[in-house]
Amino acid sequence: MKSKNLYIIDASSLIELERHNPIDVYPSVWASLRSLIQKGFLISHKEVYKEIKKKDSKLYNWAKNQKGFFKEITKDQIEIVREILAKYPSIVKADRPNGADAFVIALAVEITRRKQKILFPVKKIVVTEEKERGNQVRIPFICKKDYNIECIYVIDMFRTEGLRF
């Protein structure tokens, strides 16, 4: 696994992955995620952690053991989230008031805007199970339309990384 990508994963991908590949039944899937995390190729946001904490105890137990995986809110992210909410207020839903989606996008944008100090370019990709549906305001729509950031499903991340289980 020699990635040239940095993946920023949304709660939807982690929740769906655990639903279809339970941690206790498919440990190799979750070991591969841990490996990506440890190598610095897979990150998420603290707001995703909060969303997971509310939904699933097995996934939450796994998540709380992933050191450095969930990134903290920064001033830059707050500004980007304000930008997103000003243009797309419907990204925050009444049933999910924490706004993890906006922070996933903000984290990807913040990292994309940073100057790279490495020899080869690292592509930043958002991993989400949300589907692009016309002009519906969802993660893939905002990433593509406003920030030129690619979005893929978790299964595509595994394929891109050459992971087999």
The pLDDT tens digits of the residues spanning 31-90 come to 999 999 999 999 999 999 999 998 768 999 999 999 899 999 999 999 999 999 999 998
pLDDT of residue 4: 83
Q: What is the pLDDT of residues 92-145, one digit of tens each?
A: 865 655 679 999 999 999 999 887 666 667 899 999 999 877 666 799 999 999
Total structural domains within the chain: 1
Q: Is 73 inside a domain boundary?
A: yes
Q: Is 165 inside a domain boundary?
A: no
**Whole domain around residue 78: which residue ranges?**
5-160
pLDDT of residue 55: 74
pLDDT of residue 114: 82
Regarding pTM above 0.85, the answer is yes
Per-residue DSSP letter, 138: S
Any idea what the CATH number is for the domain that residue 78 is in? 3.40.50
Three-state secondary structure string covering 50-114: HHHHHHCHHHHHHHCCCCCCEECCCHHHHHHHHHHHHHCHHHCECCECCCHHHHHHHHHHHHHHC
